[in-house]
Amino acid sequence: MSYCIQPDCSKPKNPPTVSHCQCCGAELLLRGRYRMIRALGRGGFGATFLARDELLPGKPPCVIKQLRPSAEAPHILDMARDLFKREAKILGMIGNHPQLPRLLDYFESGQEFFLVQEYINGFTLQQEVKRGGPFTEAGVKQFLSEILSMVQYVHDNHVIHRDIKPANIIRRDQDKKLVLIDFGAVKDKVNPAQAASSDQTALTAYAIGTPGYAPPEQMAMRPVYASDIYALGVTCIYLLSGKAPKDLNYDPNTGELMWREQIHISDHFAGVLQKMLEVSVKHRYQSVEAIHRDLDLEPYMESLAQNMAFPSSGSSAASGYSNSYGLVSGPSTQPGMTPSGGSPSSRMAAAIRARRERSHSDSKSATSPGLGRNGAPPPRRVTPSATVLSSEDVKQKYTKGRRDFSLQTFKNLDLQRTLLAEANFNQSKLPSANFQGSDLSNANFGRANLSRATLRNAKLVKAYFHYANLEGADLRGANLARACLSNANLRGANLCGADLTGALVSDDQLASARTNWSTIMPNGHRGVL
């Protein structure tokens, strides 16, 4: 289908090959190459579309964000053009991170401005919660361990995102990694001190973030880096409770979000969230590293340090789409560009380990056993939950909408012929588990222990096994089409009769497993390596 982007067009849907809209006559091939397929979202100042680039082989999908200035006065158009160019420059600068948007193209056409970004295939965290229910405390800590390093990278580049929320975080279907989106077109480069002018308000009034997720100083158009930390805190509350800010009460005297009674988490984690959600910027966390330090996220960081490392240049990245736009240049006092030596995750993990080693050394020299420097109690360590779930527990919780079983320990798990599509078993212990004949499509088994597990005839289409231990697992007849098995341990795994069409797996991995003439290899052909 070809979609007409003219806002006044009453019948925007057209046949896929026509060059002009059959209703209003507008040209359908933008810049001679981009054909709109459908609208993803519209606002007062623009719209977002799914499109195809018809000049590239395969006509790959992309996302096009359109900014249409609300006024036709020349000075408004000039200001919009200037802001647009600076916005595109920042998007190009931060696009080195594999989990942040990469700008593909930008241009002006007919006094309208367009940004072209890569399309992300996956579900937003908002969609995950609506489909699968709230996250566990361990699941939210896993989320924080990944998203915080991305936010740190953004802040290191003098940028404040200003619209962090569940709808702007996509779990990429390809590798199950989170992608922070909504780095859209021109939004807020206007000096807040000058924002009172009606002309500039025309471009900036809509650019203050999402009510409920944006803190007071941001709503007053004076955002700081800690504004993103507040939005992350509200996002955590949503993930834990399934309730948006508008569905929660506020303290009429302080303006604080009243969330504590809605969720069941440890007191220590609640204290961290409370500090992220401080209405006063002065009392809120000022940096991402401070959150890492208080949460003690090293068990999660060590896993993510390998998953998230990326080269200093030339790295391929993807971007998503959103209904709104949100990006603002931060204060000049923030540290400079992220150095090329390692990812933010790996550096943070190293810093946490170094602090722990110093703390351990101090505790040895303290006068009282078990105490730190000057006799003070050592920092409290938060460890993943050790809850043991039974087969019936998993079935009941899944039936009630829960999908997150990450960081759990299972014994004698028997889930034959069970629907568990999109379940999250990231880093869970599942030795000898029986999933024979089960539907585990799109399930996440990243870094899980599945040694000697039975997955015979299981549906594992697009399942994620990055760094999973599948040693000795029975995968005979399993459908692993387009599954991600990168760095998984397949030593002794039985893949006879399995379908690996399009799966991400190396020849060395397959050589360590058992295959036969009926195994369908990633190239779609049957046979042994």
CA 396 to chain centroid: 28
Give the N- to C-terminal CA distance of the chain in Å, as an integer: 42
The Cα 529–Cα 517 span in angstroms is 9
- Tokens 């600076």, located at residue: 86
The helix (H) or strand (E) run that includes residue 138 is helix 137-156
The reply to whether 105 belongs to the active site is no
The Cα 455–Cα 88 span in angstroms is 47
The helix (H) or strand (E) run that includes residue 197 is none
Q: Of the listed 53, 163, 182, 499, which one is catalytic? A: 163
| Cβ 39 vs Cβ 48: under 8 Å | yes
CA 43 to chain centroid: 23
* SS3 label, residue 502: coil
The full DSSP string for 434-495 is: B-TT-B-TT-B-TT-B-TT-B-TT-B-TT-B-TT-B-TT-B-TT-B-TT-B-TT-B-TT-B-
Task: List all residues 6 or more positions away from 497 whose beta carbon is below 8 Å from its beta carbon.
Answer: 476, 477, 516, 518, 519
Which amino acid is present at 206? Y
Active-site residue set: 163
